């Protein structure tokens, strides 16, 4: 029986047995058990290509490509990243000159010179409707807190008796963003977040990336207030927390309140750090140990986030560095996508979709690799042999995966029995998921990996 048919039958039986009041209680309890983001979210985010500067026309152009070329592979979300309320984002180096747009209650609104449809319909309503009409979901980025301009004018908080002075913690500011003050953990602070997310619900927002909250600093109280505000809004929204590295000791609290949280600093298109102590941006090679440390916290509704995929064309105004094609080699790109996918990280492409080339598209739309990300289980580091790292995973129907990575700077030959990686059968047939080449039945894996390269196999007994 199909799930929808079964749900309909259950609904009919409940209506026959219970009074409307009792049924309402049962329905509410059932809804509370629904898992938001049951699989790792997939989509496109504007930051890696446009930084603070994206306009509505640019966003719509990228969404059109996502719908046409990536939606069928599972890419669902389209996210406007940081600074959509700035009229002059190019002035970010001189924060005292930034021009913000807010409403009468101090809540940020899309800058009219950049998001022209906001002149006719409130906020992001028209843009959200357009995204939804193409079968996708709409997301936005925000910085935690309350705008400093709202505090300066002591504006009222919508749908409450509070004012901005009741909300703001003026001793708390984001170390790297000048927009807001922190929010106090009190009824006024909760009212502020309730008002914000009520507005986002009215705009049709499906995904909210909240920044300056998961690490340096970690703001547990504000995370919980935002979680409650989403519940009160009445609209399901996926909550993503940034930046990392989130602390492993905070995993339980993060998982109780959000669906995604960043586990590292921003990942950009470099294989290794340029200096021994250079932690920004995070390199691809450095992600191996970080991702491994979070595997036990991966489960439906909880997705430790290894960050976006900095592939393809990064421009015209990337969030870091000059406009460029990704600096990662083809082998490094495959390694990145393979690691993210076997570890079941969210998959958010950061490149400019209007310049999507066939190579990059092939990385994003490989159905076997996406299926491993979306349906895998038991994913874990299986072995470390010098520069060679092995991961395994499986799906509920018994499909096994083995990924081998060469982190070294020279080619490496591998000649190991499958048992070395914890695989039980005496022999396996295999298919290379990137080349689709078939390997004959064997008890041993015998391959050569290029520097920074990977081999990803689907195994059958």
Going residue by residue through the chain, which has 461 residues, state the pLDDT in tens, using 9 for 90 and above. 333 333 344 344 434 444 443 443 333 333 445 789 999 999 999 999 999 999 999 999 999 999 999 999 999 999 999 999 999 999 999 999 999 999 999 999 999 999 999 998 899 999 999 999 999 999 999 999 999 999 999 999 999 999 999 999 999 999 999 999 999 999 999 999 999 999 999 999 999 999 999 999 999 999 999 999 999 999 999 999 999 999 999 999 999 999 999 999 999 999 997 665 556 899 999 999 999 999 999 999 999 999 999 999 999 999 999 999 999 999 999 999 999 999 999 999 999 999 999 999 999 999 999 999 999 999 999 999 999 999 999 998 889 999 999 999 999 999 999 999 999 999 999 999 999 999 999 999 999 999 999 999 999 98
pLDDT for res 135: 98
pLDDT for res 6: 38
C-beta neighbour count of 327 within 10 angstroms: 13
Q: What is the rounded CA–CA span in Å between residue 271 and residue 336?
A: 9
Can you say how many angstroms the Cα of residue 406 is from the centroid of all Cα atoms in its chain? Answer: 26
pLDDT for res 7: 38
Residue with tokens 């990803």: 456
| pTM recorded for the entire structure | 0.91
CA proximity to 370, closest of 3, 76, 61, 64: 76
Domains of the chain, earliest start first: 1-30 (no CATH), 39-377 (3.20.20.70), 382-460 (2.60.40.1180)
């Amino acid at each position: 029986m199909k799930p929808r048919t079964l749900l309909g039958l259950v609904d009919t039986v409940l209506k026959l047995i219970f009074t409307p009041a009792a049924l309402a209680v049962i329905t509410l309890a059932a809804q509370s058990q629904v898992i938001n983001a049951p699989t790792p979210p997939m989509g496109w985010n504007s930051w890696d290509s446009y930084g603070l500067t994206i306009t509505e026309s640019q966003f719509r152009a990228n969404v059109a490509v996502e719908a046409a070329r990536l939606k069928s592979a599972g890419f669902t979300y389209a996210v406007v990243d940081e600074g959509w309320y700035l009229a002059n984002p190019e002035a970010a180096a001189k924060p005292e000159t930034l021009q913000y747009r807010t409403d009468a209650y101090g809540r940020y609104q899309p800058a009219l010179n950049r998001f022209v449809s906001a002149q006719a319909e409130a906020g992001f309503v028209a843009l959200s409707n357009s995204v939804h009409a193409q079968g996708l979901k709409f997301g936005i980025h925000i910085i935690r807190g309350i705008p400093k301009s709202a505090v300066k004018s002591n504006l009222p908080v919508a749908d409450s008796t509070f004012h901005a002075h009741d909300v703001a913690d003026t001793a708390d500011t984001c170390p790297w963003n000048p927009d807001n003050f922190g929010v106090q953990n009190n009824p006024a602070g909760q009212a502020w977040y309730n008002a914000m997310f009520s507005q986002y619900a009215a705009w049709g927002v499906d995904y909210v990336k909240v920044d300056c909250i998961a690490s340096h600093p970690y703001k547990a109280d504000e995370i919980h207030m935002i979680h409650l505000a989403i519940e009160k809004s009445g609209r399901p929204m996926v909550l993503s927390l940034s930046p990392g590295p989130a602390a492993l000791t905070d995993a339980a609290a993060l998982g109780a309140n959000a669906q995604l949280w960043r586990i590292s600093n921003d990942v950009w298109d470099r294989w290794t750090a340029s200096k021994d102590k250079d932690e920004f941006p995070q390199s691809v090679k450095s992600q191996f140990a970080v991702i491994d440390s979070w595997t036990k916290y991966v489960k439906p509704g909880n997705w430790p986030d290894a960050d976006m995929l900095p592939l393809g064309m990064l421009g015209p105004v990337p969030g870091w560095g000059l406009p460029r094609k990704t600096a990662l080699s083809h082998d490094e790109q495959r390694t990145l996508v393979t690691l993210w996918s076997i570890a079941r990280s969210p998959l958010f492409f950061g490149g400019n979709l209007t310049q999507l080339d066939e190579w990059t598209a092939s990385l994003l739309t490989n159905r076997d690799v996406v299926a491993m990300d979306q349906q895998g289980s038991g994913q874990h580091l299986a072995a470390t042999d010098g520069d060679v790292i092995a991961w395994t995973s499986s799906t509920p129907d018994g499909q096994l995966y083995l990924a081998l990575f060469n982190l070294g700077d020279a080619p490496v030959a591998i000649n190991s029995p499958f048992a070395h990686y914890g695989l039980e059968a005496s022999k396996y047939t295999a298919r290379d998921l990137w080349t689709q080449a078939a390997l004959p039945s064997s008890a041993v894996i015998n391959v050569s990996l290029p520097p920074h390269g990977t081999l990803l196999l689907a195994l059958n007994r």
